[in-house]
Amino acid sequence: MRIANTISDSIVDGSGLRFTVFTQGCPHACPGCHNPATHDPAGGEETTPLLLMERMGNNPLLRGITLSGGEPFLQAAACVELCRMVHEKGLDVWVYTGYTYEELLAQGDPAHLALLEETDVLVDGPFMQAQKTYGLPFRGSANQRLIDMKKTHAEGRVVLWTQGDALAHFTRPES
């Protein structure tokens, strides 16, 4: 797995305190992207899901992990392995992608579908400079959606995540 960087205590990459992994490599090259250094698939550093879990540690304040980019779906199989380990710890998973949910489904790639299954909230769609906003939580442009993947799978249609869902759906189990 190739990554650009990690942040151990982000509050802007999803609900609650998050461990954020910036994957390396992105085909979208969105104008105005805030992470252009992640575009080159040969950049960054090589690591493994297990080493990322060790880097994440056992911070009891973490709500979950966020996969950002770059484009996590370029490394979907490794991301699935990481997400499964995160879920085993009782944490949630947010994934940012420049693809839309519908594009990922249409591609039919088994690794992409597996990553969608391991995702609790999908932030989909490319960053669009003309729709840039600071007023919407957890996204950079108004076209991007926060999709509640559990509800989406259960209902067979896209169900958007709302701030009120944070405690209802992603409360960590009692130890």
CATH code of residue 29: 3.20.20.70
40-50 residue pLDDT tens: 999 999 999 99
Look up residue 51 and give its two tokens: 């080493």
Structure tokens at 155: 């209902």
pLDDT at 168 over 60: no
Q: What share of the chain is helix, strand, coil (3-state, %, to 5)?
A: 35, 25, 45
Q: pLDDT per residue over 120-150, tens digit each?
A: 999 999 999 999 999 999 999 999 999 999 9
* Domain membership flag for residue 116: yes
Q: Tell me, yes or no, whether 175 lies in a domain.
A: no
Give me the numbers of helices (H) and strands (E) for the chain, helices first please.
6, 7
**Max CA pair span of the chain:** 46
Contact in structure between 6 and 49 (CB atoms under 8 Å):
no
Total domains, the chain: 1
β-strand partners of 46: 2
Give 10's pLDDT tier (boundaries 50, 70, 90). very high
**How many other C-beta atoms lie within 10 A of the C-beta of residue 42?**
7
Phi-psi category of 57—alpha, beta or left, where left has phi over 0 and alpha has psi -120 to 50?
left
Percent of the chain residues past pLDDT 70, beyond the cut: 94
- Confidence at residue 164, expressed as pLDDT on a 0 to 100 scale: 72
Q: What is the mean pLDDT of residues 99-115?
A: 98
pLDDT at 160: 97
pLDDT value of position 120 = 98
Does an H or E element contain 106, and which? helix 101-107
Q: What's the CA gap between 85 and 79, in Å, rounded? A: 10
pLDDT value at 175 more than 50: no
Query: What pTM, to 2 d.p., does this model score?
Result: 0.92
Q: What is the pLDDT of residue 170?
A: 45
Tell me the sheet residues that pair with 3: 23, 45
For residue 129, give its domain range. Answer: 2-170
